[in-house]
Amino acid sequence: MASPTQVTASTCCYCGVGCGVLIEHDGEKILGVAGDPSHPANFGKLCSKGASLHLTGDLDARGLYPELRLGKGLARSRTDWDNALDHAATVFAETLREHGPDSVAFYISGQLLTEDYYAFNKLARALVGTNNIDSNSRLCMSSAVVGYKRSLGADAPPCNYEDIEQSNCVLIVGSNMAFAHPVLFRRLEEAKAQRPHMQIIVVDPRRTDTCELADLHLAILPGSDVALFHGILHILMWEGWIDRRYIDAHTEGFDALKNLVRDYTPAAVADICGISQTDLLQAASLIGQAPSFLSLWCMGLNQSSSGSAKNSALINLHLATGQIGKVGSGPFSLTGQPNAMGGRETGSLSNLLPGHRDAANAEHRDEVADYWGVDSLPHTTGLTAIELFEAVRSGHIKALWIACTNPAQSLPDQNKVHEALATCPFVVVQEAFFTTETCHYADLLLPAASWGEKEGTVTNSERRISHVRRAVPAPADAREDWAITADFARRLERLLRPGLPSLFTFDSPNALFEEYKHLTAKRDLDLSGLSYAILDHQGPQQWPFPAGATQGTPRLYGDGQFPTTNGRAQFQAEPFRAAKETRETRYSLTLNTGRLRDQWHGMSRTGSAAQLFGHAPEALLNLHPDELRRRRLQSGDLIKVRSRRGSLIVPVVADESVRSGQAYMPMHWGNRFLNGLGTNVLTQPAFDPLSKQPELKHAGIEVEKVELPWSFFALVEGDVQSRFEALRPLFEALAYANLTLSGRERPALLIRAASAVAPDAEWLEQIDHLLGLNKGPVLAYDDPRKAVGKRVRIEDGRITAIRLAGETAARDWLKGLWETGGADAELRRWLLAPLPTPPGTSTAKASGKTLCNCLNVSQDAVCAGIARGLDLNSLKQELKCGTQCGSCVPEIKRLLATQTMSVVANA
């Protein structure tokens, strides 16, 4: 029985900013969400993703009951938890007996809560006896882990969010913070507005929206970061802008680095990086003369075959200038996932153990084994993500447990990943959304609780632990991740170690937290003094928080002491190495991948909300206009993009923010929304030798126009998720198909497809049936000679479904009519005319893009306002855009800058 509206304080489940949210609910259903004004990460702010959380998670996309497949090629059928987990325990036990502990593996996620992670780690290492437990954080932060550990001695970001506001010079490297960490970017924007003398340098091959805040943008060539940092250090040394006293007192290894960077002269570095010497000198001058210097970075450094070297070369700048451990200073990685930090803390990478310990360290293994009451922990090195899926593909891994992640979308070289999953004898997928690409391969599919339905803790980018609270029960049979893991572990231990006391007697997430926290005692991250009660009474806290502490630790290394063997930070001297795939004749473009503003990772959650597609309705490849001209392409043309590993077909779009010779495509697109295996069919599995993080940011590609004369367009409202599931397989056979959602008040399914030849009539009949266009108030026009057909369903004067087949020239015009609700005489005239283009249609295309998601303001409306001379403030006043979450403000500023420039140029 639903009760009156209640509010539960929890956290956002998307990025590592870790914003606090207030979930409005009735005890059964989530009704709304707002930023938590008391949470120190966001003080009430949310970005467009966080503010839409309550609109996501459609039950049609959720897993509700366990499903089991009893043989490859058979369909899965619904089962109960006892049967599901007994079956899994039996298969795992048989596999372990027959092939040994390293024949199974666990691939888990930065989305899990700390308690979930801890249960998985104990299961893999203490019960199963394997270090084959890795996480999707391997794709995200493992280079930062190596950078922190070897330069500073521990995987501990030393700063806090207030440092972002208090710094005099902020260097943002390889991060489109405006899209990826929007609430922190808002805090930076406000700080810059209050203290305009704060200098912001953005280093990114693309001119992203983050650059709109920058005093200096260095559009370096992809992968040249190490050369840039060494070049800056060269100038700092030459100009005397280093802190010799700090170097002597608190560091080691400077002389070797000094010898190395001597060769990184401004001329050489400007050449390697593709920037001017003037800009390089300006960057060094801003950094060297700033009273405080902070660096922020993300995937642009980490997702690289030199990721560890890039991290350490950046940290070198802080050590050389003594800019660490004080207000507004220090190296500060922006964590991608909401609890990637918790994963690192609990040992959820194959080379780690709980409490920031190393699996390769015998002393560390003994400490954890003693604590867990087992004889020993496995000595054999565990497989990292890329190695792990390769071992699945080669048949060495025979049982694979995947939790809360979607490797069939997110890993590089997707052809091989799909092959691996299809080959594996037993795949378990523990997942809240049964619509992900990976679920297709599950022999056992286990429904997991999701945001708002589970309890535990998360650590955000600034080491701050929040209590994640449950607002509503999980739907149907879905269970919390820790509970699934512990239940499976108990069944498995009855088979593997019968008669012995259970290692998994946990009955709540609190019980897991209480056991886990003591493993951190006396370690750098010591959180043994924390409890759920303290988090509830005192709010989120930053570790270390040792026993007896009364508050967390805002900043590390203020005393110049580092957790290394001799207490000194370690300079790392490594030369610049180019990315693995550089441009060459057959692959003349470098593909960079990144994020969309309103989507998250593989879109399993955000892809269930139509509103979140308004800003980027379809998958596109962005190229500089010069590259389009060179290849005789136009925006909107369908192109085949191919790398050494695979290909896919998407429309191309001209984009001045991408440098010539480069290309950009968002990382979110997978096979669910786009025919082919998605963006990552192109990306490469080459990885950093230390962090084993793959080089997702640099792939050599080539593009060519494809001729697919038969095109298709459809838009239909009602039963969106179920229609999607029914229609999606029918488009698999076409060369190009992009199925997404559209609209706000009237969520709709949007389909764009193309093919070399027209599909047969039965195919179209099936489609019309599923679109509801086979009967009722449907206007129809067919020209069989040209294989062209149009259908429009109008109900109560409103278009409710459209289908164009053969040619689709009117699709933008129709979409516009759909959005304005019009179904007038003009539409009827066009429909019955043989002309593809509606009469009176302007050749200038509307963008169809929603700029402000909160208040539904289109890009066209903003551009029209700018053309009338409105500035940012008057746009906000008149259109209300940018007045809520603020995520669209950088884009509005960019439009203002570009449109104003074009007016000046044309004057």
Tokens of 263: 């060769």
- Cis peptide, bond prior to residue 544, ω within 30 of zero: yes
Minimum distance from residue 617 beta carbon to ligand SF4 (Å): 20
Instruction: Give the CA diameter of the chain.
Output: 86
Among 14, 488, 669, 724, interactor with ligand SF4 by CB under 6 A: 14
Are the CB atoms for 576 and 687 separated by under 8 Å?
Answer: no
Minimum distance from residue 612 beta carbon to ligand SF4 (Å): 11
- Whichever of 405 and 684 has its CB closer to ligand SF4, that residue is 405
- Whichever of 12 and 273 has its CB closer to ligand SF4, that residue is 12
Among 22, 47, 93, 875, interactor with ligand SF4 by CB under 6 A: 47
Q: Which of these ranges, 181-189, 356-364, 404-412, 461-469, lies near ligand SF4 under the rule CB under 6 A? A: 181-189
State the Cα–Cα distance between residues 377 and 370, nearest whole angstrom. 10
Residue 118 Cα to chain centre, angstroms? 23
Among 9, 10, 19, 188, interactor with ligand SF4 by CB under 6 A: 19
- Whichever of 14 and 669 has its CB closer to ligand SF4, that residue is 14
- Whichever of 18 and 617 has its CB closer to ligand SF4, that residue is 18
Q: Which of these ranges, 17-25, 252-260, 628-636, 691-699, lies near ligand SF4 under the rule CB under 6 A? A: 17-25
- Whichever of 51 and 699 has its CB closer to ligand SF4, that residue is 51
- Whichever of 17 and 257 has its CB closer to ligand SF4, that residue is 17
Minimum distance from residue 525 beta carbon to ligand SF4 (Å): 21
Give strand pairing partners of 803. Answer: 714, 791
- Whichever of 42 and 329 has its CB closer to ligand SF4, that residue is 42
Cα–Cα separations (whole angstroms), residue 467 to 116, 121, 513, 539: 14, 21, 11, 8
Is 50 a binder of ligand SF4 (CB under 6 A)?
Answer: yes
Are the CB atoms for 789 and 805 separated by under 8 Å?
Answer: yes
Cα–Cα separations (whole angstroms), residue 859 to 600, 863, 898: 22, 6, 13
Q: Which of these ranges, 165-173, 176-184, 400-408, 762-770, lies near ligand SF4 under the rule CB under 6 A? A: 176-184
Q: Which of these ranges, 12-20, 444-452, 728-736, 800-808, lies near ligand SF4 under the rule CB under 6 A? A: 12-20
Are the CB atoms for 617 and 740 separated by under 8 Å?
Answer: yes
Among 9, 10, 17, 512, interactor with ligand SF4 by CB under 6 A: 17
- Whichever of 176 and 691 has its CB closer to ligand SF4, that residue is 176
- Whichever of 302 and 520 has its CB closer to ligand SF4, that residue is 302
Return the residue matching tokens 């400007």: 270
Minimum distance from residue 683 beta carbon to ligand SF4 (Å): 23
Give strand pairing partners of 11. Answer: 20
Are the CB atoms for 447 and 63 separated by under 8 Å?
Answer: yes
Is 601 a binder of ligand SF4 (CB under 6 A)?
Answer: no
State the Cα–Cα distance between residues 414 and 409, nearest whole angstrom. 7
Binding footprint of ligand SF4, residue count (CB under 6 A): 14
Q: Which of these ranges, 41-49, 66-74, 445-453, 826-834, lies near ligand SF4 under the rule CB under 6 A? A: 41-49
Is 15 a binder of ligand SF4 (CB under 6 A)?
Answer: yes
Are the CB atoms for 66 and 79 separated by under 8 Å?
Answer: yes
Q: In 3D, which of 338, 305, 265 has the Cα closest to residue 42? A: 338
Three-state SS for 474? coil
Q: What is the DSSP code string of 835-877?
A: -SSPTT--SSPP---EEETTTTEEHHHHHHHHHTT--HHHHHH
Q: Per 3-state DSSP, what percentage of the chain is helix, strand, and coil (rounded to 5)?
A: 35, 20, 45
Cα–Cα separations (whole angstroms), residue 343 to 99, 155, 429, 730: 28, 12, 19, 40
- Whichever of 13 and 104 has its CB closer to ligand SF4, that residue is 13
Are the CB atoms for 290 and 321 separated by under 8 Å?
Answer: no
Three-state SS for 27? coil
Is 179 a binder of ligand SF4 (CB under 6 A)?
Answer: no
Minimum distance from residue 43 beta carbon to ligand SF4 (Å): 11
Minimum distance from residue 464 beta carbon to ligand SF4 (Å): 12
Q: Between residue 552 and residue 591, which ones bind ligand SF4 under the rule CB under 6 A?
A: none
Are the CB atoms for 138 and 384 separated by under 8 Å?
Answer: yes
What torsion, rounded to 10 degrees, do the Cα atoms 811, 815, 821, 825 define?
A: -20
Return the residue matching tokens 């800056």: 232
- Whichever of 187 and 479 has its CB closer to ligand SF4, that residue is 187
Minimum distance from residue 144 beta carbon to ligand SF4 (Å): 18
Is 33 a binder of ligand SF4 (CB under 6 A)?
Answer: no
Minimum distance from residue 884 beta carbon to ligand SF4 (Å): 12
Minimum distance from residue 658 beta carbon to ligand SF4 (Å): 25
Q: Between residue 183 and residue 222, which ones bind ligand SF4 under the rule CB under 6 A?
A: 183
State the Cα–Cα distance between residues 314 and 571, nearest whole angstrom. 10
Are the CB atoms for 644 and 587 separated by under 8 Å?
Answer: yes
Site mask, ligand SF4, residues 136-175, x = CB under 6 A?
Answer: ----------------------------------------
Q: Which of these ranges, 11-19, 255-263, 449-457, 833-841, lies near ligand SF4 under the rule CB under 6 A? A: 11-19
- Whichever of 51 and 804 has its CB closer to ligand SF4, that residue is 51
Q: Which of these ranges, 60-68, 178-186, 544-552, 851-859, lies near ligand SF4 under the rule CB under 6 A? A: 178-186
Q: Which residue is nearest to ligand SF4 (CB)?
A: 50
Is 49 a binder of ligand SF4 (CB under 6 A)?
Answer: yes
- Whichever of 17 and 119 has its CB closer to ligand SF4, that residue is 17
Tokens of 37: 């004004």
Minimum distance from residue 50 beta carbon to ligand SF4 (Å): 2
SS3 of 221-282: the string is CCCCHHHHHHHHHHHHHHHCCCCHHHHHHHEECHHHHHHHHCCCCHHHHHHHHCCCHHHHHH
Q: Which of these ranges, 177-185, 588-596, 803-811, 841-849, lies near ligand SF4 under the rule CB under 6 A? A: 177-185
Give strand pairing partners of 67. Answer: 78, 445
Q: What is the DSSP code string of 521-550?
A: TTSTT--TT--HHHHHHH--EESP--TT-S
Minimum distance from residue 855 beta carbon to ligand SF4 (Å): 17
Is 12 a binder of ligand SF4 (CB under 6 A)?
Answer: yes
Question: Which residues of the shown chain bind ligand SF4 in the complex (CB under 6 A)?
Answer: 12, 14-15, 17-19, 42, 46-47, 49-50, 181-183
